[in-house]
Amino acid sequence: MTDLTINLTPEIYTYLQRVSLREPKVLEKLREQTHKMSMFQMQISPEQGQFMGLLVELIGAKKTLDIGVFTGYSSLSVALALPPDGKVIGCDINGEWTKIARKFWAEAGVENKIDLRLAPAAETLQALIDQGEANTFDFAFIDADKLNYPVYYELVLTLLRQGGLIAIDNVLWGGDVADPSVQDDNTKTLRALNEKILRDERVTISMVPIGDGVTLARKR
């Protein structure tokens, strides 16, 4: 026995995927298409998408937010796990990437579940609060521009119901957050947010070493 998290060698990672990944064909196709793009590394991993789908099922989510849509993998993973009357509000500013997303959402037959808002995410989230939707969302995934993560975290906490769950992506930032010699703005922002969430009594938390690190924060 060890108290260390296992180091995923390529062999162990391949095994993990082989014995646990149930990626639907449409998500596999979306992943393959996105991997032809230069920015493909922005996409979440398939096991992370499956994990998020499980979380959505576990909490019985219906109303969700996807902050940072890109080509639509995280939105689609969540939409496929939602009940027929479930909704994803997707936030992004890029019309080109989200055009690909829309194509795959339609192919998966869940386009009616996903409401894409093409605007800076902070504006979309603030508008939802202004429209009286505070304390009504069940689940939110934060995966857009890192410098605005602290803003998204606060807006999302306002929008979540008690017991609602936030999943925050890239909290390990390729390991840079743990390396004091790295002092760029994105790394400093993520480092400061991790420290803030550690001390935030409004949430129950766990940092999960999946993908690039995901913090789960349940609103108390």
Q: Tell me if 143 contacts ligand SAM by CB under 6 A.
A: yes
- Determine how many CB atoms are found less than 10 A away from the CB of residue 152: 25
Site track for ligand SAM across 62-81, x = CB under 6 A = ------xxxx-xx-------
* Residue 19, both tokens: 């014995």
Site track for ligand SAM across 26-45, x = CB under 6 A = ----------------xxx-
- Beta carbon nearer to ligand SAM, 71 or 194: 71
Distances in whole angstroms, Cα of residue 7 to Cα of each of 12, 143, 188, 210: 9, 24, 25, 11
> Interface with ligand SAM by CB under 6 A: which range of 85-93, 103-111, 131-139, 193-201?
85-93
Q: Tell me if 137 contacts ligand SAM by CB under 6 A.
A: no
- Determine how many CB atoms are found less than 10 A away from the CB of residue 98: 22
Q: Tell me if 59 contacts ligand SAM by CB under 6 A.
A: no
3-state secondary structure of 5: coil
Pairing mode, if any, of strands 87-92 and 63-67?
parallel
Contacting positions for ligand SAM (CB under 6 A): 42-44, 68-71, 73-74, 91-94, 97, 120-121, 143-145, 148
